[in-house]
Structure 1
Amino acid sequence: MKELAERKSKLVADNIRKTRELRNYTQDYLAIKLNISQNAYSKIELGYSNITIQRLFHIADILEVDAEQLLT
């Protein structure tokens, strides 16, 4: 069960990275918008950091996508 959750978390992290790259945004840009360090943002994309639902919605807003797109 835990492994499944970890795989899904990694999928979300990958979707965030791919969407950011598609928009030609840098990690630094997203970090500034989220008011966190670039290192902290990098950990989100690498799947090393668990994010809240609120943070997921904020990332989706910045990337101009529905949060659902980042989850699937």
Structure 2
Amino acid sequence: MNESIDTRIRSVALNIRKIREYRNYTQEYLAMKLGISQNAYSKIELGYTRITLERLIQISHILDVDTVDLLSANAEDLVRLHTTK
């Protein structure tokens, strides 16, 4: 059970990173928008920090994606979805 949760956390973190890169945003930019350090933000993308629902919603707003997309889509499909908008 914990392994599948850890896998999902890494998947969400990868989705966040891929969309951030697609938008050409830096980690520093997202960290600044979130009011945290770049190091703290990096740990989110690496899956080392478990984020709250509130933080996930903040990130999705900054990246201009639906929160549910970050949770359900894989990174490649997510980027493809947002390149066709």
User: TM-score normalized by structure 1?
Assistant: 0.99
Aligned-partner Cα distance in 1 for 2:29–2:70: 18
> Match for 1:31: what amino acid?
A
Alpha-carbon offset, residue 30 of structure 1: 0.0
Match of 1:18 in 2: 18
> Match for 2:30: what amino acid?
L
Please tell me whether Structure 1 or Structure 2 has the larger radius of gyration of its CA atoms: 2
Ranges of 4+ aligned residues in structure 1 off by more than 6 Å:
none
What residue ranges of structure 2 are gaps of 5+ in the alignment?
73-85
Aligned-partner Cα distance in 1 for 2:63–2:50: 19
Residues 5-38 of structure 1 show CA distances to partners (whole Å, capped at 9, x for unaligned) of: 0000000000000000000000000000000000
Match of 1:32 in 2: 32
What residue ranges of structure 1 are gaps of 5+ in the alignment?
none
Alpha-carbon offset, residue 45 of structure 1: 0.2
Q: For residue 33 of structure 1, give the secondary structure of its aligned residue in structure 2.
A: helix
> Match for 1:50: what amino acid?
R
Q: For residue 49 of structure 1, give the secondary structure of its aligned residue in structure 2.
A: coil
Percent sequence identity is 61
Q: Aligned-residue CA RMSD in angstroms?
A: 0.3
What is the total number of aligned residue pairs between the two structures?
72
Match of 1:4 in 2: 4
